[in-house]
């Protein structure tokens, strides 16, 4: 479970989030919406332990990160949290196989990638291929928290469907928070940032 208390978070001298709390269980998919510049990406960075410059507290499984040294926070993040963006999730100078081996070692075979796809350089993957490769790898990493930032925004309907099928699998045994403007995404567990506060809209 995660518990976040945000008394105040500023971005470029502007207060974007304040006097708000968020509690989420250890697994499930939560869709985060809000206007542009409302603080969606800022919230993802806080949940991902990338941004620790705010007034408040953040705990994962009752472990409070305000009390930890930066090196301990970095170590925890690398082992337990993933953030996936629309692009640049893979090392473009490497092939799909080299990227997968870097993260999974011999377990890359469990992803079920075709030989043709494995040989491709990450730099030539389509948006849909890139996202599917990233999510297939993520399924095998078994990290506790996966944060997605607009990952379907540039995908066609077919690749959006494939992506969401993988996202649903991820959410079966870990927490997934998905920030999006995409109207195609079903908002079953809906988090909305409105006026600097996080609202839970089931």
107 within a domain of the structure (yes/no): no
User: What tens digit of pLDDT does each residue of 71-130 get?
Assistant: 999 999 999 999 999 887 999 999 999 999 999 999 999 999 999 999 999 999 999 999
Token digits of residue 7: 């008394």
90 within a domain of the structure (yes/no): no
Domain that holds residue 63: 2-82+134-201
74 within a domain of the structure (yes/no): yes
Report how far residue 152's alpha carbon sits from residue 156's, in angstroms, rounded to the nearest whole number: 8
Q: Output the CA–CA distances (angstroms, integers) from residue 130 to 84, 112, 150, 173, 174, in the order listed.
A: 11, 15, 14, 23, 21
Is it the case that residue 150 has pLDDT exceeding 90? yes
The owner of tokens 């908002």 is: 187
64 within a domain of the structure (yes/no): yes
Report how far residue 51's alpha carbon sits from residue 31's, in angstroms, rounded to the nearest whole number: 20
Is it the case that residue 202 has pLDDT exceeding 80? no
What pairs with residue 3 in β-bridges? 23, 59
Q: What does the pLDDT average to over 168-193?
A: 94
Question: How many structural domains compose the chain?
Answer: 1
Q: What does the pLDDT average to over 47-59?
A: 94
Total-model pTM: 0.92
Q: Is 47 left (phi over 0), alpha (psi -120 to 50) or beta?
A: alpha
121 within a domain of the structure (yes/no): no
103 within a domain of the structure (yes/no): no
- CA Rg value for the chain: 17
Q: What does the pLDDT average to over 54-73?
A: 92
pLDDT of residue 14: 87
Report how far residue 7's alpha carbon sits from residue 21's, in angstroms, rounded to the nearest whole number: 8
Instruction: Write the CATH number for 188.
Output: 3.40.50.300
Q: What does the pLDDT average to over 148-171?
A: 94
């Amino acid at each position: 479970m995660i518990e976040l208390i945000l008394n105040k978070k500023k971005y470029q001298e502007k207060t974007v989030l304040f006097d708000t709390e968020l509690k989420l269980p250890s697994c499930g998919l939560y869709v985060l919406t809000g206007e542009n510049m409302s603080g969606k990406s800022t919230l993802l960075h806080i949940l991902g332990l990338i941004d620790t410059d705010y007034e408040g507290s953040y705990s994962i499984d009752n472990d409070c990160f305000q009390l930890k040294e930066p090196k301990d926070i970095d170590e925890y993040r690398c082992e337990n949290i993933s953030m996936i963006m629309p692009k640049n999730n893979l090392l473009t100078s490497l092939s799909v196989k080299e990227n997968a081996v870097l993260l999974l070692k011999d377990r890359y075979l469990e992803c079920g990638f075709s030989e043709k796809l494995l040989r491709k350089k990450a730099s030539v993957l389509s948006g849909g291929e890139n996202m599917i490769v990233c999510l297939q790898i993520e399924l095998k990493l078994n990290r506790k928290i996966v944060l997605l930032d607009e990952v379907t925004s540039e995908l066609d309907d077919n690749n959006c469907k494939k992506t969401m099928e993988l996202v649903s699998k991820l959410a079966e045994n870990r927490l997934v928070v998905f920030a999006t403007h995409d109207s195609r995404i079903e908002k079953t567990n809906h988090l909305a940032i409105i006026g600097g506060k996080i609202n839970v809209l089931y």
